[in-house]
Chains A and B, each alone.
Chain A
Amino acid sequence: MSEPLLELDGVHTHIGQYHILQGVDLVVPKGGITVLLGRNGAGKTTTLRTVMGLWHASRGTVRFAGGDITQSPTPDIATAGIAYVPESMGIFSDLTVRENLFLAARSVKNADRMDEARLEWIFGFFGALKKFWNQPAGTLSGGQKQMVAIARAIVEPRKLLLIDEPTKGLAPAIIQGMIAAFRELKQSETILLVEQNFSFVSALGDSVAVMDGGRIVHSGAMAELADDRDLQHKLLGLSLDNHQ
Protein backbone atom coordinates (compact mmCIF):
# COMPACT_ATOMS: atom_id res chain seq x y z
CA MET A 1 0.00 0.00 0.00
CA SER A 2 1.33 3.47 -0.90
CA GLU A 3 1.86 6.21 1.69
CA PRO A 4 -1.30 7.74 3.20
CA LEU A 5 -2.43 11.08 1.81
CA LEU A 6 -5.44 11.62 4.08
CA GLU A 7 -5.88 10.18 7.55
CA LEU A 8 -8.88 10.51 9.80
CA ASP A 9 -8.23 9.37 13.33
CA GLY A 10 -11.17 8.96 15.71
CA VAL A 11 -13.12 11.82 14.12
CA HIS A 12 -16.38 12.86 15.74
CA THR A 13 -18.63 15.50 14.15
CA HIS A 14 -21.73 17.07 15.67
CA ILE A 15 -24.30 19.00 13.64
CA GLY A 16 -26.36 20.89 16.13
CA GLN A 17 -27.57 18.33 18.65
CA TYR A 18 -26.92 15.37 16.32
CA HIS A 19 -23.81 13.24 16.76
CA ILE A 20 -23.18 12.20 13.15
CA LEU A 21 -19.59 10.92 12.97
CA GLN A 22 -18.81 8.73 15.95
CA GLY A 23 -15.10 7.99 15.66
CA VAL A 24 -14.21 7.66 12.00
CA ASP A 25 -10.84 6.06 11.27
CA LEU A 26 -10.04 6.25 7.59
CA VAL A 27 -6.86 6.19 5.53
CA VAL A 28 -6.81 7.30 1.91
CA PRO A 29 -3.61 6.16 0.19
CA LYS A 30 -1.90 8.32 -2.38
CA GLY A 31 -3.04 7.52 -5.94
CA GLY A 32 -6.12 5.68 -7.20
CA ILE A 33 -9.69 5.68 -6.02
CA THR A 34 -10.81 5.02 -2.49
CA VAL A 35 -14.53 4.39 -2.32
CA LEU A 36 -16.65 5.26 0.70
CA LEU A 37 -19.77 3.14 0.77
CA GLY A 38 -22.67 2.96 3.15
CA ARG A 39 -26.41 3.27 3.53
CA ASN A 40 -28.19 6.61 3.55
CA GLY A 41 -27.43 8.48 6.76
CA ALA A 42 -24.29 6.46 7.47
CA GLY A 43 -22.18 9.64 7.55
CA LYS A 44 -20.43 9.55 4.16
CA THR A 45 -21.24 13.13 3.13
CA THR A 46 -20.50 14.38 6.64
CA THR A 47 -17.08 12.73 6.40
CA LEU A 48 -16.30 14.63 3.18
CA ARG A 49 -17.62 17.90 4.61
CA THR A 50 -15.59 17.41 7.77
CA VAL A 51 -12.42 16.86 5.72
CA MET A 52 -13.26 20.03 3.77
CA GLY A 53 -13.78 22.02 6.99
CA LEU A 54 -17.39 22.83 6.14
CA TRP A 55 -18.24 21.15 9.44
CA HIS A 56 -15.47 20.95 11.98
CA ALA A 57 -14.66 17.81 13.88
CA SER A 58 -15.52 18.06 17.56
CA ARG A 59 -12.97 15.36 18.40
CA GLY A 60 -10.21 13.44 16.60
CA THR A 61 -7.75 14.59 13.96
CA VAL A 62 -7.77 15.00 10.20
CA ARG A 63 -4.31 14.89 8.65
CA PHE A 64 -3.64 15.74 5.02
CA ALA A 65 -0.23 15.31 3.38
CA GLY A 66 1.30 15.12 6.83
CA GLY A 67 -0.29 18.33 8.18
CA ASP A 68 -3.11 18.68 10.70
CA ILE A 69 -6.13 20.31 9.01
CA THR A 70 -8.74 19.42 11.65
CA GLN A 71 -9.61 23.01 12.50
CA SER A 72 -8.34 24.75 9.34
CA PRO A 73 -10.73 27.09 7.56
CA THR A 74 -12.22 25.76 4.33
CA PRO A 75 -10.34 28.16 1.99
CA ASP A 76 -7.01 27.01 3.50
CA ILE A 77 -7.95 23.36 2.99
CA ALA A 78 -8.88 24.11 -0.63
CA THR A 79 -5.62 25.92 -1.30
CA ALA A 80 -3.72 23.04 0.33
CA GLY A 81 -4.84 20.93 -2.64
CA ILE A 82 -8.20 19.34 -1.84
CA ALA A 83 -11.06 19.82 -4.30
CA TYR A 84 -14.62 18.97 -3.37
CA VAL A 85 -17.46 18.03 -5.70
CA PRO A 86 -20.61 18.04 -3.56
CA GLU A 87 -23.64 15.87 -4.19
CA SER A 88 -25.61 19.00 -5.14
CA MET A 89 -22.82 19.78 -7.67
CA GLY A 90 -22.69 23.38 -6.40
CA ILE A 91 -22.20 24.90 -9.82
CA PHE A 92 -22.70 28.63 -10.21
CA SER A 93 -25.70 28.65 -12.51
CA ASP A 94 -25.57 32.34 -13.54
CA LEU A 95 -21.95 32.02 -14.63
CA THR A 96 -20.85 30.42 -17.87
CA VAL A 97 -19.09 27.05 -18.00
CA ARG A 98 -15.86 28.93 -18.73
CA GLU A 99 -16.33 31.22 -15.71
CA ASN A 100 -17.15 28.26 -13.46
CA LEU A 101 -13.87 26.62 -14.39
CA PHE A 102 -11.94 29.86 -14.18
CA LEU A 103 -13.08 30.40 -10.57
CA ALA A 104 -11.49 27.08 -9.68
CA ALA A 105 -8.26 27.82 -11.58
CA ARG A 106 -6.75 29.79 -8.74
CA SER A 107 -3.27 30.11 -10.24
CA VAL A 108 -4.38 32.20 -13.25
CA LYS A 109 -5.53 35.81 -13.14
CA ASN A 110 -7.42 35.76 -16.40
CA ALA A 111 -9.87 33.24 -17.83
CA ASP A 112 -8.01 33.38 -21.16
CA ARG A 113 -4.86 32.13 -19.46
CA MET A 114 -6.22 28.80 -18.26
CA ASP A 115 -3.96 25.90 -19.20
CA GLU A 116 -5.18 25.00 -22.69
CA ALA A 117 -3.58 21.56 -22.74
CA ARG A 118 -5.33 20.73 -19.47
CA LEU A 119 -8.64 22.04 -20.81
CA GLU A 120 -8.27 19.83 -23.90
CA TRP A 121 -7.55 16.90 -21.58
CA ILE A 122 -10.81 17.69 -19.71
CA PHE A 123 -12.74 18.08 -22.97
CA GLY A 124 -11.40 14.63 -23.89
CA PHE A 125 -13.79 13.05 -21.38
CA PHE A 126 -16.39 15.80 -21.04
CA GLY A 127 -16.81 16.91 -24.66
CA ALA A 128 -20.12 18.68 -23.94
CA LEU A 129 -18.27 21.33 -21.96
CA LYS A 130 -16.47 22.54 -25.06
CA LYS A 131 -19.78 22.88 -26.87
CA PHE A 132 -21.41 24.86 -24.06
CA TRP A 133 -18.25 26.74 -23.06
CA ASN A 134 -19.82 30.21 -23.09
CA GLN A 135 -23.30 29.19 -22.00
CA PRO A 136 -24.67 29.84 -18.48
CA ALA A 137 -24.12 26.64 -16.49
CA GLY A 138 -27.69 26.86 -15.18
CA THR A 139 -29.03 26.09 -18.65
CA LEU A 140 -27.23 22.71 -18.88
CA SER A 141 -28.76 19.29 -18.22
CA GLY A 142 -28.12 17.42 -14.97
CA GLY A 143 -25.38 15.27 -16.49
CA GLN A 144 -23.66 18.29 -18.05
CA LYS A 145 -23.81 20.14 -14.72
CA GLN A 146 -22.12 17.16 -13.09
CA MET A 147 -19.41 17.38 -15.77
CA VAL A 148 -18.91 21.06 -14.93
CA ALA A 149 -18.66 20.22 -11.24
CA ILE A 150 -16.01 17.53 -11.83
CA ALA A 151 -14.17 19.58 -14.45
CA ARG A 152 -13.98 22.44 -11.97
CA ALA A 153 -12.31 20.13 -9.46
CA ILE A 154 -9.67 18.99 -11.94
CA VAL A 155 -9.08 22.20 -13.90
CA GLU A 156 -5.79 22.43 -12.03
CA PRO A 157 -3.80 19.53 -10.60
CA ARG A 158 -5.01 18.74 -7.05
CA LYS A 159 -3.60 16.40 -4.48
CA LEU A 160 -6.99 14.94 -3.55
CA LEU A 161 -10.48 15.00 -5.04
CA LEU A 162 -13.50 14.45 -2.77
CA ILE A 163 -16.42 13.47 -4.96
CA ASP A 164 -19.88 12.89 -3.55
CA GLU A 165 -22.29 10.65 -5.51
CA PRO A 166 -21.41 11.79 -9.03
CA THR A 167 -23.85 9.38 -10.72
CA LYS A 168 -26.91 10.34 -8.67
CA GLY A 169 -29.85 10.94 -10.99
CA LEU A 170 -27.81 10.49 -14.18
CA ALA A 171 -28.85 8.45 -17.22
CA PRO A 172 -27.00 5.11 -17.76
CA ALA A 173 -25.30 6.40 -20.93
CA ILE A 174 -23.81 9.33 -19.02
CA ILE A 175 -22.74 7.00 -16.19
CA GLN A 176 -20.77 4.93 -18.73
CA GLY A 177 -19.03 8.14 -19.81
CA MET A 178 -18.27 8.93 -16.18
CA ILE A 179 -16.71 5.48 -15.66
CA ALA A 180 -14.37 6.11 -18.59
CA ALA A 181 -13.53 9.57 -17.23
CA PHE A 182 -12.79 8.29 -13.71
CA ARG A 183 -10.69 5.46 -15.11
CA GLU A 184 -8.45 8.00 -16.77
CA LEU A 185 -8.55 10.43 -13.88
CA LYS A 186 -7.31 7.87 -11.38
CA GLN A 187 -4.07 7.49 -13.34
CA SER A 188 -3.03 10.94 -12.20
CA GLU A 189 -5.24 11.92 -9.25
CA THR A 190 -6.12 10.60 -5.82
CA ILE A 191 -9.87 10.35 -5.38
CA LEU A 192 -12.07 9.72 -2.37
CA LEU A 193 -15.38 8.78 -3.92
CA VAL A 194 -18.71 8.51 -2.13
CA GLU A 195 -21.17 6.45 -4.12
CA GLN A 196 -24.30 4.35 -3.66
CA ASN A 197 -24.08 2.76 -7.11
CA PHE A 198 -22.03 -0.32 -6.27
CA SER A 199 -21.68 -1.57 -9.84
CA PHE A 200 -20.21 1.82 -10.79
CA VAL A 201 -17.60 1.88 -8.03
CA SER A 202 -16.74 -1.80 -8.05
CA ALA A 203 -15.40 -1.31 -11.58
CA LEU A 204 -13.32 1.66 -10.54
CA GLY A 205 -12.30 1.49 -6.90
CA ASP A 206 -8.88 0.37 -5.70
CA SER A 207 -9.70 0.40 -2.02
CA VAL A 208 -12.96 0.65 -0.14
CA ALA A 209 -14.27 1.71 3.24
CA VAL A 210 -17.80 0.97 4.38
CA MET A 211 -19.57 3.22 6.88
CA ASP A 212 -22.42 2.48 9.20
CA GLY A 213 -23.76 4.50 12.11
CA GLY A 214 -21.07 7.16 11.78
CA ARG A 215 -18.16 4.69 11.88
CA ILE A 216 -16.01 2.78 9.40
CA VAL A 217 -17.07 -0.86 9.74
CA HIS A 218 -14.93 -2.33 6.99
CA SER A 219 -11.93 -1.31 4.94
CA GLY A 220 -9.81 -3.16 2.43
CA ALA A 221 -9.28 -3.75 -1.26
CA MET A 222 -12.28 -3.18 -3.55
CA ALA A 223 -11.57 -6.40 -5.43
CA GLU A 224 -12.08 -8.42 -2.22
CA LEU A 225 -15.47 -6.88 -1.54
CA ALA A 226 -16.55 -7.19 -5.16
CA ASP A 227 -15.76 -10.92 -5.08
CA ASP A 228 -17.37 -11.66 -1.73
CA ARG A 229 -21.17 -11.63 -2.03
CA ASP A 230 -21.68 -12.62 1.59
CA LEU A 231 -19.62 -9.67 2.73
CA GLN A 232 -21.61 -7.36 0.44
CA HIS A 233 -24.83 -8.67 1.98
CA LYS A 234 -23.47 -8.27 5.46
CA LEU A 235 -22.13 -4.75 4.98
CA LEU A 236 -24.46 -3.22 2.45
CA GLY A 237 -27.50 -5.44 2.37
CA LEU A 238 -27.02 -6.09 -1.35
CA SER A 239 -25.07 -8.15 -3.76
CA LEU A 240 -23.38 -6.94 -6.88
CA ASP A 241 -25.57 -9.24 -9.00
CA ASN A 242 -28.70 -7.31 -8.05
CA HIS A 243 -27.25 -4.07 -9.26
CA GLN A 244 -25.84 -4.91 -12.62
Chain B
Amino acid sequence: MIRNLLSGDLPRSRLLSAMLLVVFCGLALAPFLVPGARSLNVAATICVFVVLVASYDLLLGYTGIVSFAHTMFYGIGAYGVGLALHGMGPSWWAIFVGTAGALSLSLVLALVIGLFSLRVRAIFYAMITLAVASAFAVLASQLSDLTGGEDGRTFKVPEILQPGFRLFDAEILGRAIDGKLITYYLVFCSALALFLFMLRIVNSPFGRVLQAIRENDFRAEALGYRTVIYRTLANCLGALIATLAGVLMALWLRYVGPKTMLSFEVMTDILLIVVIGGMGTIYGAVIGSALFILAQNYLQLLMAQASAAMSGAPLLANLFHPDRWLLWLGVLFVLSVYFFPTGIVGRLRTRALLRRLR
Protein backbone atom coordinates (compact mmCIF):
# COMPACT_ATOMS: atom_id res chain seq x y z
CA MET B 1 0.00 0.00 0.00
CA ILE B 2 2.81 2.41 0.92
CA ARG B 3 4.59 1.51 -2.32
CA ASN B 4 1.41 2.33 -4.20
CA LEU B 5 0.92 5.58 -2.30
CA LEU B 6 4.48 6.61 -3.10
CA SER B 7 3.97 5.63 -6.76
CA GLY B 8 6.66 2.96 -6.45
CA ASP B 9 9.29 5.62 -5.72
CA LEU B 10 10.49 4.47 -2.32
CA PRO B 11 13.22 6.44 -0.49
CA ARG B 12 15.77 3.68 -1.38
CA SER B 13 17.93 4.41 1.68
CA ARG B 14 17.31 3.36 5.28
CA LEU B 15 18.63 6.60 6.70
CA LEU B 16 16.52 8.63 4.29
CA SER B 17 13.43 6.56 5.19
CA ALA B 18 14.08 7.25 8.87
CA MET B 19 14.53 10.97 8.24
CA LEU B 20 11.34 11.16 6.19
CA LEU B 21 9.44 9.27 8.84
CA VAL B 22 10.64 11.67 11.54
CA VAL B 23 9.60 14.70 9.48
CA PHE B 24 6.23 13.14 8.63
CA CYS B 25 5.44 12.20 12.23
CA GLY B 26 6.75 15.53 13.48
CA LEU B 27 4.48 17.45 11.13
CA ALA B 28 1.48 15.16 11.67
CA LEU B 29 1.70 15.49 15.46
CA ALA B 30 3.21 18.98 15.70
CA PRO B 31 0.19 20.62 17.41
CA PHE B 32 0.35 18.00 20.18
CA LEU B 33 4.12 17.50 20.42
CA VAL B 34 5.26 21.11 20.52
CA PRO B 35 2.52 23.42 21.75
CA GLY B 36 2.76 27.12 21.08
CA ALA B 37 1.95 29.44 18.19
CA ARG B 38 5.53 29.71 16.96
CA SER B 39 6.17 25.99 16.61
CA LEU B 40 2.84 25.49 14.86
CA ASN B 41 3.71 28.33 12.52
CA VAL B 42 7.05 26.68 11.74
CA ALA B 43 5.32 23.34 11.06
CA ALA B 44 2.75 24.96 8.75
CA THR B 45 5.50 26.86 6.91
CA ILE B 46 7.40 23.58 6.41
CA CYS B 47 4.23 21.97 4.97
CA VAL B 48 3.73 24.84 2.52
CA PHE B 49 7.40 24.93 1.53
CA VAL B 50 7.45 21.18 0.90
CA VAL B 51 4.80 21.76 -1.76
CA LEU B 52 6.39 24.93 -3.10
CA VAL B 53 9.90 23.48 -3.30
CA ALA B 54 8.73 20.14 -4.72
CA SER B 55 6.84 22.00 -7.44
CA TYR B 56 10.05 23.90 -8.22
CA ASP B 57 11.97 20.62 -8.24
CA LEU B 58 9.54 19.46 -10.92
CA LEU B 59 10.91 22.29 -13.07
CA LEU B 60 14.56 22.49 -12.09
CA GLY B 61 15.36 18.96 -10.94
CA TYR B 62 13.21 16.94 -13.33
CA THR B 63 12.98 19.10 -16.44
CA GLY B 64 16.08 21.28 -16.17
CA ILE B 65 14.11 24.53 -16.41
CA VAL B 66 15.64 27.41 -14.44
CA SER B 67 12.80 29.76 -13.55
CA PHE B 68 12.72 32.75 -11.23
CA ALA B 69 8.98 33.21 -11.60
CA HIS B 70 8.01 30.58 -9.06
CA THR B 71 7.33 33.09 -6.30
CA MET B 72 5.09 34.98 -8.72
CA PHE B 73 2.81 31.95 -9.01
CA TYR B 74 3.01 31.43 -5.26
CA GLY B 75 2.04 35.09 -4.80
CA ILE B 76 -0.81 34.81 -7.31
CA GLY B 77 -2.29 31.98 -5.24
CA ALA B 78 -1.91 33.88 -1.98
CA TYR B 79 -3.22 37.16 -3.38
CA GLY B 80 -6.04 35.39 -5.23
CA VAL B 81 -7.53 33.83 -2.13
CA GLY B 82 -6.57 36.78 0.12
CA LEU B 83 -8.18 39.43 -2.05
CA ALA B 84 -11.26 37.26 -2.65
CA LEU B 85 -11.74 36.78 1.12
CA HIS B 86 -11.06 40.48 1.72
CA GLY B 87 -13.53 41.56 -0.94
CA MET B 88 -16.24 38.92 -0.68
CA GLY B 89 -16.09 38.24 3.04
CA PRO B 90 -15.09 35.09 4.90
CA SER B 91 -16.78 32.26 3.03
CA TRP B 92 -15.82 28.99 1.34
CA TRP B 93 -17.24 30.40 -1.87
CA ALA B 94 -14.70 33.27 -1.68
CA ILE B 95 -11.91 30.73 -1.19
CA PHE B 96 -13.16 28.76 -4.20
CA VAL B 97 -13.47 31.88 -6.38
CA GLY B 98 -10.05 33.17 -5.28
CA THR B 99 -8.36 29.82 -5.84
CA ALA B 100 -10.03 29.25 -9.22
CA GLY B 101 -9.16 32.78 -10.35
CA ALA B 102 -5.56 32.44 -9.19
CA LEU B 103 -5.16 29.04 -10.88
CA SER B 104 -6.57 30.42 -14.13
CA LEU B 105 -4.26 33.45 -14.08
CA SER B 106 -1.24 31.28 -13.25
CA LEU B 107 -2.12 28.82 -16.01
CA VAL B 108 -2.39 31.57 -18.62
CA LEU B 109 0.85 33.24 -17.50
CA ALA B 110 2.75 29.93 -17.33
CA LEU B 111 1.45 28.95 -20.76
CA VAL B 112 2.36 32.29 -22.32
CA ILE B 113 5.81 32.46 -20.67
CA GLY B 114 6.41 28.80 -21.53
CA LEU B 115 5.37 28.89 -25.17
CA PHE B 116 7.22 32.11 -25.90
CA SER B 117 10.31 31.49 -23.85
CA LEU B 118 11.03 27.77 -23.50
CA ARG B 119 12.43 27.65 -27.03
CA VAL B 120 15.28 29.93 -26.03
CA ARG B 121 18.37 28.85 -24.13
CA ALA B 122 18.09 28.21 -20.39
CA ILE B 123 19.86 31.38 -19.30
CA PHE B 124 17.59 33.60 -21.42
CA TYR B 125 14.52 31.82 -20.10
CA ALA B 126 15.73 32.42 -16.54
CA MET B 127 16.18 36.13 -17.32
CA ILE B 128 12.73 36.39 -18.88
CA THR B 129 11.09 34.80 -15.83
CA LEU B 130 13.08 37.11 -13.53
CA ALA B 131 11.84 40.15 -15.46
CA VAL B 132 8.21 38.98 -15.45
CA ALA B 133 8.32 38.13 -11.73
CA SER B 134 9.89 41.49 -10.85
CA ALA B 135 7.30 43.32 -12.91
CA PHE B 136 4.54 41.40 -11.16
CA ALA B 137 5.94 42.21 -7.70
CA VAL B 138 6.12 45.91 -8.59
CA LEU B 139 2.57 45.75 -9.95
CA ALA B 140 1.32 44.19 -6.70
CA SER B 141 2.95 46.99 -4.70
CA GLN B 142 1.71 49.74 -7.01
CA LEU B 143 -1.91 48.63 -7.19
CA SER B 144 -2.38 49.57 -3.55
CA ASP B 145 -6.15 50.14 -3.85
CA LEU B 146 -6.56 46.51 -4.77
CA THR B 147 -3.66 44.77 -3.06
CA GLY B 148 -2.97 47.03 -0.07
CA GLY B 149 0.41 47.98 -1.57
CA GLU B 150 3.48 47.36 0.58
CA ASP B 151 1.31 46.82 3.68
CA GLY B 152 -0.59 43.97 2.06
CA ARG B 153 -4.04 42.87 3.17
CA THR B 154 -5.32 41.07 6.22
CA PHE B 155 -8.59 39.21 5.88
CA LYS B 156 -10.92 36.92 7.74
CA VAL B 157 -11.27 33.24 6.94
CA PRO B 158 -14.47 31.15 7.25
CA GLU B 159 -15.56 30.71 10.86
CA ILE B 160 -14.37 27.09 11.20
CA LEU B 161 -10.81 28.23 10.38
CA GLN B 162 -10.79 31.18 12.80
CA PRO B 163 -8.65 30.77 15.96
CA GLY B 164 -11.63 31.54 18.20
CA PHE B 165 -13.69 28.66 16.80
CA ARG B 166 -14.01 25.54 19.00
CA LEU B 167 -15.05 22.29 17.35
CA PHE B 168 -15.93 20.93 20.78
CA ASP B 169 -15.24 22.00 24.33
CA ALA B 170 -13.19 18.99 25.41
CA GLU B 171 -9.45 18.99 24.82
CA ILE B 172 -7.52 16.18 23.14
CA LEU B 173 -4.04 15.43 24.49
CA GLY B 174 -4.18 18.73 26.34
CA ARG B 175 -4.97 20.76 23.26
CA ALA B 176 -8.18 22.58 22.33
CA ILE B 177 -9.56 21.62 18.93
CA ASP B 178 -9.84 25.15 17.62
CA GLY B 179 -9.88 26.84 14.23
CA LYS B 180 -6.10 27.19 14.19
CA LEU B 181 -5.70 23.43 14.60
CA ILE B 182 -8.27 22.77 11.88
CA THR B 183 -6.45 25.19 9.56
CA TYR B 184 -3.16 23.46 10.35
CA TYR B 185 -4.55 20.06 9.40
CA LEU B 186 -6.12 21.54 6.29
CA VAL B 187 -2.66 22.80 5.32
CA PHE B 188 -0.97 19.51 6.33
CA CYS B 189 -3.43 17.23 4.50
CA SER B 190 -3.45 19.43 1.38
CA ALA B 191 0.35 19.52 1.37
CA LEU B 192 0.50 15.73 1.77
CA ALA B 193 -2.00 15.19 -1.06
CA LEU B 194 -0.13 17.59 -3.36
CA PHE B 195 3.20 15.96 -2.49
CA LEU B 196 1.87 12.48 -3.31
CA PHE B 197 0.37 13.87 -6.52
CA MET B 198 3.78 15.22 -7.53
CA LEU B 199 5.39 11.87 -6.75
CA ARG B 200 2.83 10.31 -9.07
CA ILE B 201 3.65 12.79 -11.82
CA VAL B 202 7.41 12.30 -11.70
CA ASN B 203 7.03 8.53 -11.66
CA SER B 204 4.57 8.46 -14.55
CA PRO B 205 5.68 8.05 -18.17
CA PHE B 206 5.29 11.85 -18.43
CA GLY B 207 7.80 12.26 -15.59
CA ARG B 208 10.28 9.95 -17.31
CA VAL B 209 10.08 12.06 -20.46
CA LEU B 210 10.78 15.17 -18.37
CA GLN B 211 13.89 13.48 -16.94
CA ALA B 212 14.96 12.47 -20.43
CA ILE B 213 14.57 16.08 -21.60
CA ARG B 214 16.65 17.31 -18.68
CA GLU B 215 19.45 14.88 -19.48
CA ASN B 216 19.48 15.25 -23.25
CA ASP B 217 16.73 17.16 -24.99
CA PHE B 218 18.04 16.42 -28.52
CA ARG B 219 17.96 12.72 -27.73
CA ALA B 220 14.42 13.01 -26.38
CA GLU B 221 13.41 14.73 -29.64
CA ALA B 222 15.09 11.96 -31.61
CA LEU B 223 12.91 9.46 -29.74
CA GLY B 224 9.86 11.35 -31.00
CA TYR B 225 9.01 13.65 -28.07
CA ARG B 226 8.09 17.28 -28.72
CA THR B 227 10.18 18.75 -25.95
CA VAL B 228 8.67 22.25 -26.08
CA ILE B 229 5.23 20.82 -25.34
CA TYR B 230 6.54 18.71 -22.44
CA ARG B 231 8.49 21.63 -20.99
CA THR B 232 5.48 23.90 -21.26
CA LEU B 233 3.27 21.31 -19.56
CA ALA B 234 5.81 20.93 -16.75
CA ASN B 235 5.97 24.71 -16.43
CA CYS B 236 2.16 24.90 -16.16
CA LEU B 237 2.00 22.07 -13.62
CA GLY B 238 4.73 23.61 -11.47
CA ALA B 239 2.98 26.98 -11.63
CA LEU B 240 -0.41 25.55 -10.66
CA ILE B 241 1.00 23.67 -7.68
CA ALA B 242 2.97 26.74 -6.53
CA THR B 243 -0.31 28.67 -6.76
CA LEU B 244 -1.99 26.14 -4.47
CA ALA B 245 0.95 26.47 -2.04
CA GLY B 246 0.29 30.21 -2.03
CA VAL B 247 -3.40 29.59 -1.28
CA LEU B 248 -2.46 27.41 1.70
CA MET B 249 0.00 29.99 3.03
CA ALA B 250 -2.56 32.79 2.76
CA LEU B 251 -5.17 30.72 4.61
CA TRP B 252 -2.64 29.97 7.32
CA LEU B 253 -1.35 33.53 7.78
CA ARG B 254 -4.67 35.30 7.07
CA TYR B 255 -2.49 37.94 5.46
CA VAL B 256 -0.97 38.62 2.05
CA GLY B 257 1.82 41.08 1.39
CA PRO B 258 4.55 41.51 -1.23
CA LYS B 259 7.43 40.80 1.14
CA THR B 260 6.00 37.50 2.36
CA MET B 261 4.62 36.27 -0.94
CA LEU B 262 6.40 37.88 -3.88
CA SER B 263 9.87 38.91 -2.73
CA PHE B 264 13.05 37.55 -4.25
CA GLU B 265 14.00 36.32 -0.78
CA VAL B 266 11.34 33.63 -1.05
CA MET B 267 12.82 32.62 -4.42
CA THR B 268 16.33 32.32 -2.97
CA ASP B 269 14.94 30.26 -0.09
CA ILE B 270 13.36 27.88 -2.61
CA LEU B 271 16.63 27.59 -4.55
CA LEU B 272 18.63 26.94 -1.38
CA ILE B 273 16.19 24.29 -0.19
CA VAL B 274 16.19 22.49 -3.55
CA VAL B 275 19.99 22.41 -3.55
CA ILE B 276 20.25 21.30 0.09
CA GLY B 277 17.57 18.62 -0.25
CA GLY B 278 18.69 17.29 -3.61
CA MET B 279 17.49 18.17 -7.09
CA GLY B 280 15.34 15.74 -9.03
CA THR B 281 14.29 13.71 -6.03
CA ILE B 282 11.02 15.33 -4.78
CA TYR B 283 11.89 13.88 -1.35
CA GLY B 284 14.63 16.51 -1.19
CA ALA B 285 11.89 19.11 -0.77
CA VAL B 286 10.79 17.45 2.48
CA ILE B 287 14.26 17.13 4.01
CA GLY B 288 15.47 20.49 2.70
CA SER B 289 12.37 22.41 3.82
CA ALA B 290 12.39 20.87 7.28
CA LEU B 291 16.10 21.61 7.85
CA PHE B 292 16.10 25.06 6.32
CA ILE B 293 12.97 26.38 8.00
CA LEU B 294 13.95 24.93 11.34
CA ALA B 295 17.36 26.59 11.00
CA GLN B 296 15.76 29.85 9.86
CA ASN B 297 13.51 29.88 12.93
CA TYR B 298 15.61 28.32 15.66
CA LEU B 299 19.22 28.96 14.75
CA GLN B 300 19.05 32.43 16.28
CA LEU B 301 17.59 30.96 19.46
CA LEU B 302 20.23 28.24 19.63
CA MET B 303 22.97 30.76 19.04
CA ALA B 304 21.66 32.98 21.84
CA GLN B 305 21.89 30.01 24.20
CA ALA B 306 25.35 29.07 22.92
CA SER B 307 26.52 32.66 23.22
CA ALA B 308 25.24 32.87 26.81
CA ALA B 309 26.96 29.57 27.67
CA MET B 310 30.25 30.90 26.26
CA SER B 311 30.12 34.21 28.09
CA GLY B 312 33.46 33.27 29.72
CA ALA B 313 35.15 33.33 26.29
CA PRO B 314 34.23 36.71 24.78
CA LEU B 315 35.58 35.85 21.30
CA LEU B 316 33.44 32.71 21.01
CA ALA B 317 30.43 34.42 22.63
CA ASN B 318 30.77 37.19 20.07
CA LEU B 319 31.12 34.70 17.23
CA PHE B 320 27.88 32.99 18.22
CA HIS B 321 26.00 36.23 18.90
CA PRO B 322 22.41 35.78 17.63
CA ASP B 323 22.81 38.75 15.30
CA ARG B 324 25.23 36.63 13.26
CA TRP B 325 22.71 33.90 12.55
CA LEU B 326 22.61 34.65 8.82
CA LEU B 327 26.38 34.20 8.64
CA TRP B 328 26.07 30.76 10.25
CA LEU B 329 23.14 29.86 8.02
CA GLY B 330 25.44 30.69 5.10
CA VAL B 331 28.21 28.53 6.57
CA LEU B 332 25.76 25.65 7.00
CA PHE B 333 24.70 26.04 3.37
CA VAL B 334 28.29 26.01 2.11
CA LEU B 335 29.04 22.93 4.22
CA SER B 336 25.95 21.11 3.00
CA VAL B 337 26.85 21.81 -0.65
CA TYR B 338 30.45 20.69 0.01
CA PHE B 339 29.55 17.45 1.74
CA PHE B 340 26.34 16.76 -0.20
CA PRO B 341 26.95 18.05 -3.75
CA THR B 342 23.93 16.14 -5.03
CA GLY B 343 21.87 17.20 -2.03
CA ILE B 344 21.14 15.20 1.08
CA VAL B 345 18.70 12.86 -0.66
CA GLY B 346 20.94 12.43 -3.70
CA ARG B 347 23.92 11.56 -1.51
CA LEU B 348 22.01 9.10 0.66
CA ARG B 349 20.53 7.36 -2.38
CA THR B 350 23.87 7.13 -4.15
CA ARG B 351 25.47 5.68 -1.03
CA ALA B 352 22.71 3.09 -0.72
CA LEU B 353 22.98 2.20 -4.44
CA LEU B 354 26.75 1.76 -4.27
CA ARG B 355 26.35 -0.48 -1.23
CA ARG B 356 23.81 -2.58 -3.14
CA LEU B 357 26.09 -2.89 -6.18
CA ARG B 358 29.07 -4.00 -4.10
Contact = CB atoms under 8 A, between A and B. Distances in A.
Interface in B272-295: 280
Interface stretch (B50-58, B127-135, B218-226): B218-226
Contacts of B225: 75, 103
B211 interface: yes
23 contacts: A52-B222, A54-B218, A73-B226, A74-B218, A74-B222, A75-B221, A75-B225, A78-B224, A84-B222, A86-B219, A90-B219, A90-B222, A92-B219, A93-B215, A94-B211, A94-B215, A95-B208, A95-B211, A95-B212, A103-B209, A109-B205, A111-B205, A139-B357
Contacts of A92: 211-212, 215-216, 219
A149 to B, nearest CB: 9
A110 interface: yes
Interface string B212-249: 10011011111111100000000000000000000000
Contacts of B332: none
Contact of A75 (B211, B224, B357): B224
Nearest to A74: B221
Contacts of B205: 102, 109-111
B21 interface: no
- Across the A-B interface, the 7 shortest Cβ-Cβ residue pairs: A78-B224, A90-B219, A74-B221, A79-B224, A92-B215, A84-B222, A75-B224
Contacts of B353: 136, 139
DSSP majority for the B interface? helix
A109 B329 CA distance: 45
- Name the interface size band of chain A: 20 to 34
A106 interface: yes
Interface in A200-227: none
B150 to A, nearest CB: 44
Interface of A: 52, 54, 73-75, 78-79, 84, 86, 90, 92-95, 99, 102-104, 106, 109-111, 135-136, 139, 152
B212 A103 contact: yes
Contact of A102 (B208, B216, B220, B280): B208
Nearest to B354: A139
A238 B216 CA distance: 36
Interface in B179-222: 205, 208-209, 211-212, 215-216, 218-222
